[in-house]
Structure 1
Amino acid sequence: MGGVSTTEHAARLPHVPKQDRSRATRQRLLEAAVACLAEHGWAGSTVSVVAERAGVSRGAAQHHFPTREDLFTAAVEYVAEERSTALRALFPDGAADRRVVVAALVDLYTGPLFRAALHLWAAASNEDQLRPKVTELEARVGRETHRIAVDLLDADESRPGVRETVQGLLDMARGLGLANLLTDDGGRRERVVGQWGALMEEALG
């Protein structure tokens, strides 16, 4: 199979510590797995395909991730964490204009990450070995996204209905992401996001 072996790659980077090379290899595998899942779905995303895209051997991939399930759940989790970090970085001082925050949250549910996650969910519904890992992952990512939303929206969840309002926003964002999978839904999404921005301003005070 094509691709760069671990030995060859190490030879190219003689001054890079082994631990750093290992970390870089793991990151390339995770990014390649998400890209493959988004483009080819679960059936077309084998460990060999991901390893080739990442430029490493299949053995190197299995060293980092012993099973296919380990690789893909870790990949989606990794990019989800990256997106959460990027969202926080957009508003380094915390709470921001709520309309802008609503638009940024909706953006979390568009693009390759969400498409990859959908393929993973569909596979988990039929794969007993995969289902508990994906269920746990989604619960964790969902809690983190909710916490970020509460912080950025400066939402007081001690007030009645505020928690449900924030969760409703995230559910709406997920729905817009689904609608965008088949067709370019940008025009309608922009109008809906504008309306939700106004609603959040009114609901959160």
Structure 2
Amino acid sequence: MTDHRLARGAATRRRLLDAAVACLAELGWSGSTVSVVAERAGVSRGALQHHYPTREDLFTSAVEHVAERQSAAVRSLAGADVACVVRAIVDLYTGPVFRAALHLWVAATTEPRLRPRVVQLEARIGREAHRMAVELLGADESVPGVREVVQGLLDMARGLGLASLLTPDAGRRERVVERWAGIVGGALGGAG
């Protein structure tokens, strides 16, 4: 295969994955059909199925791919202050990728072929989010209570993401983020 064909295939996969996440975030599982994603990505249904043979392949790959891309962007904050890190983590859980992942999780409760893949994906993303938060905050998990502070931050961010689905309130969210940055900074002794 030539370099040109490889590059074209990679570009097609990226368009498909981005379109799949956007569809899930906007239309939910039931509205995000393979045909809708193919149309939004500007490819034929056959081209989509060449890269992702099943709907489950497409949507789990899409959420994983975009989550990895976002994590890489957040990792670039190494050395940032606690408030900046807390804000970036909350942004991960209040954006379209979280919304798409949530639709995928809900669908997995009733879709037997999807469930094991989503359980595995969620575990991997959850571990990565925790590891990333520990690194960015400079948290020493050998200190009693620090692991729980980091996990509490992630749980709080997820909760804000859920709350923002129904009632987006940026002002309230910003106040919560500021307070949590203070709590996390105090609990970590100013680390990060």
TM surpasses 0.5: yes
SS at match of 1:160: coil
Aligned equivalent of 2:153: 169
Query: Which residue of 1 is the match for residue 163 of structure 2?
Result: 179
Give the Cα separation in 1 of the matches to 2:88 and 2:39: 33
Aligned residues: 188
The alpha carbon displacement at 1:16 in A equals: 7.0
Question: SS of 1:63's equivalent?
Answer: helix
2:34 maps to a residue whose letter is V
* Map of 2:33 onto structure 1: 46
Consecutive unaligned residues in structure 1, runs of 5 or more: 1-14
Aligned partners of 2:79 and 2:132: how far apart in 1? 10
Distance in 2 (CA, whole Å) between partners of 1:99 and 1:19 is: 41
**Deviation readout 1:58-79 (Å, 9 max, x if unpaired):** 1110010010000000000011
| Aligned position for 1:105 | 89
For residues 163-205 of structure 1, what are the alpha-carbon distances to aligned partners after superposition, in whole Å with 9 as ceiling and x for unaligned? 1110010000000011111122211111111111111111111
Q: Which residue of 2 aligns with 1:69?
A: 56
Where does structure 1 differ by over 3 angstroms across 4 or more consecutive aligned residues? none
The one-letter amino acid paired with 1:147 is: R
Q: How does 1:124-135 map to 2 (within 5 A)?
A: 124-135=108-119
Rounded Cα–Cα distance in structure 1 between residues aligned with 2:33 and 2:142: 46
| Cα shift readout 1:13-36 (whole Å, capped 9, x = no counterpart) | xx9711110111111000000011
1:200 corresponding residue in structure 2: 184
- Normalised to the residue count of structure 2, the TM-score between the two structures is 0.95
Q: Which runs of 5+ in 2 are unaligned?
A: none
RMSD of equivalent CA atoms = 1.2
Moved more, 55-64 or 182-191: 182-191
Structure 1 contact 95–151 (Cα < 8 Å) conserved: no
Amino acid at match of 1:17: H
Using the alignment, how far apart are the partners of 1:121 and 1:181 within structure 2?
Answer: 15
1:28 aligned to which of 3, 6, 15:
15
Post-superposition CA distance 1:45-92 (Å, at most 9, x none): 111110011011111100100100000000000110011011012x2x
The residue number in structure 1 matching 2:4 is 17
Q: Which has the larger radius of gyration?
A: 1
More helix by share: 2
TM score, norm. by length of structure 1: 0.89
Seq. identity, %: 70
Query: Partners in 1 of 2:53 and 2:105 — Cα distance?
Result: 20
Per the TM alignment, residue 96 of structure 1 is displaced from its structure 2 partner at its CA by 2.3
